[in-house]
Amino acid sequence: MSTCGKPKRSVPTGPQPTSFCLVRHGTTDWNREARIQGCTDTPLNEEGRTEVKELAARLHDEGWELILTSDLQRAKESGKILGETLKIPVFSYEGLRERSFGPLEGLRADEIELAYPAGSDGLSLPGLESRSEIEARALATMTVLASIFTHRRVIVVTHGGFMRAFFKAGLGLERKAPANAERVVVVWNGAWYLGEGGNENGG
């Protein structure tokens, strides 16, 4: 997974930071069809369930204490699978849900390009959450969680768009969405940092 923009910062030494293992939910049928899901409440498919079980096995001995998930079922089911394997509690939090794409949900990129040749970023459509809005929400949500779970180790199961927005707003990174059931560790220690050794597939 490539990055550009600001270089990765090293985590400073000192008191135990607050650590978050950001996990993108497992695969859904709409992921396979390359359709924008947004807040449409799509379920995991069997491939997604298998992916999350495999991730759970890799997380087993890392000392994570609890799981927070988006309130959308693909994230909640991913969190439930992780929680059952790791034997830690699971809670849902609406602030972690995916960016809302309004009438664009269910469409593929080629269909959006055909309908909106000038691009979708500048559109004002009912229910479409702008990039600036999702970035502000992602940063605010993670900041609240950092204040509540100080010095804890927390798995957060969320969505690709939310994670991209947080990378931009919290870390200053233009970073692609992780693959389904991939994790990226971030820490709060007075500022946001990428964690060491917690990013799968090379980063």
Indicate which residue of 98, 105, 129, 135 is catalytic: 98
3-state secondary structure 57-120: HHHCCCCCCEEEECCCHHHHHHHHHHHHHHCCCEEECHHHCCCCEHHHCCCEHHHHHHHCCCCC
25 catalytic, yes or no?
yes
Contact between 169 and 139 under an 8 Å Cβ cutoff? The reply is yes
Determine whether 60 is an active site residue: no
Let me know the angle formed at the C-alpha of 114 by 109 and 120, rounded to the nearest 5 degrees. 60
State the Cα–Cα distance between residues 58 and 70, nearest whole angstrom.
21
Alpha carbon 66 to chain centroid, angstroms: 16
The values of phi and psi at residue 45, to 5°, are -105, 180
Give residue 188's Cα distance to chain centre: 16
- The rounded radius of gyration (Å) of the Cα atoms in the chain is 16
Cβ atoms < 10 Å from Cβ of 133 = 13
Backbone angles phi, psi at 35, to 5 degrees: -100, 145
Query: Which of the residues are catalytic?
Result: 25, 98
